[in-house]
Amino acid sequence: MLWRGRRQSDNIEDERSDSGGGGGLGGGGQFRVPIGGRTGGGGSILLVILVVLAGWYFGFDPSQILGGGDGGLLPGGGQITGTQDNGNAPANDEMKQFVATVLADTEDTWTGIFKSQGLTYEDPKLVLFSGQVRSACGFASAAAGPFYCPGDHKVYLDMTFFQQLDQQFGASGEFARAYVVAHEVGHHVQNLTGIMGKFNQMRQGMSEADANQLSVRIELQADCFAGVWAHFTQQKGILEQGDIESALNAAKQIGDDTLQKKMQGYVVPESFNHGTSQQRQTWLARGFKSGKLSDCNTMSGPI
């Protein structure tokens, strides 16, 4: 992606130094809740109680964080590898510039799309954190992967996830990283358009299996929206050879079936909540091909 020299977003909130490499929570927070994505270990009941209590105390809806983030690790999965606290290293600063440029490009694209529908796009903030972070949706650990919190309209990203994407998941390339950012921004679009609110309403009282199926539809739509963004990025002439392939490969590598096979050796389809590799690639490609929101209706019909 020919991103250097292009506009960088002002909507980055760099909280990496606050967290001291995964130690404190900043702001005097005393809770150290080890939210590790969809772990099903013995501590999970205690964890749920802690999160609910913390939610009650801080006034957020804990159900929003218990679902984990995007690209989170599976039960028994390893930790993020690589250096834990290189938040201020030059390499990371370049990565920060890259993320800020991709974010700016999503702002331009979605502002244009919303305008064409007579709507106003409100830019999300993107919080860079290191280790763990406190959001309006609760505390989250980097192990849960990047996530979007509808409560504060912010995308949360620990950039060590990019290393994990590359080294652990086999999804290398700049545009694989851009796709991750664009997918989270896709959730923001769902929030602004009311889709996410409806989703959160609908999943109340659902069985876990049904809620997972609904979650897959939401996630595939975020993939499709990432594809819509990539479509307009291509029109600007800033995509390079291999970019879209690297995003499609990332979609494949973080598909639920591929991830589960890799991490635990077998698949549990009822637990899928992001979609299979095939589904994720299909919806990303669909959005990319047409650039039309109307082609991203994952909420009804077969997926």
Residue 174 interacts with Zn ion (CB under 5 A): yes or no: no
Question: Which one, 87 or 146, has the nearer CB to Zn ion?
Answer: 146
Of 222 and 244, nearer to Zn ion (C-beta) is: 222
CA distances from 142 to 23, 33, 92 (A): 12, 12, 16
Q: What's the closest the beta carbon of residue 140 comes to Zn ion, in angstroms? A: 13
Among 70, 107, 243, 256, binds Zn ion (CB under 5 A): 70
Give min distance, CB of 240 to Zn ion, in A: 25
Which residue, 219 or 257, has its beta carbon nearer to Zn ion? 219
CB of 124 to Zn ion, least distance (A): 13
36 vs 87 by CB, closer to Zn ion: 36
Exactly one of 105, 107, 174, 219 binds Zn ion (CB under 5 A); that residue is 219
Task: Check binding of 107 to Zn ion (CB under 5 A).
Answer: no
CB of 187 to Zn ion, least distance (A): 6
Determine contact, residues 146/163, Cβ cutoff 8 Å: no
Our CA dihedral for 139, 265, 286, 101, rounded to 10 degrees, sits at 40
Site stretch for Zn ion (CB under 5 A), options 30-38, 49-57, 65-73, 276-284 = 65-73
Query: Backbone dihedral region of 255: left (phi > 0), alpha (psi from -120 to 50 degrees) or beta?
Result: beta
Residues contacting Zn ion: total by CB under 5 A: 3
Record the tokens describing residue 244, joined without a space: 């879209």
| Dist. CA 8–CA 105, nearest whole Å | 8
Please list every residue from 18 through 57 that binds Zn ion, using CB under 5 A: none
Give the separation between CA 278 and CA 258, rounded to whole angstroms: 10
Residue 251's closest CA among 223, 286, 271, 222? 223
Please identify, using beta-carbon distances, which residue of 107 and 219 lies nearer to Zn ion: 219
Interface stretch with Zn ion, choices 48-56, 216-224, 228-236, 247-255 (CB under 5 A): 216-224
* Site stretch for Zn ion (CB under 5 A), options 21-29, 33-41, 66-74, 249-257: 66-74
Q: Nearest-CB residue to Zn ion?
A: 70
For residue 68, count CB atoms less than 10 angstroms from its CB and return exposed for 0-12, middle for 13-18, buried for 19 or more: buried
- The residue range among 5-13, 35-43, 75-83, 220-228 that interacts with Zn ion, by the rule CB under 5 A, is 220-228
Give the residue with the Cβ less far from Zn ion, 70 or 257. 70
**Taking contact as CB under 5 A, which single stretch among the options 31-39, 68-76, 82-90, 158-166 is the one that binds Zn ion?**
68-76
User: Footprint of Zn ion on this chain (CB under 5 A)?
Assistant: 70, 219, 222
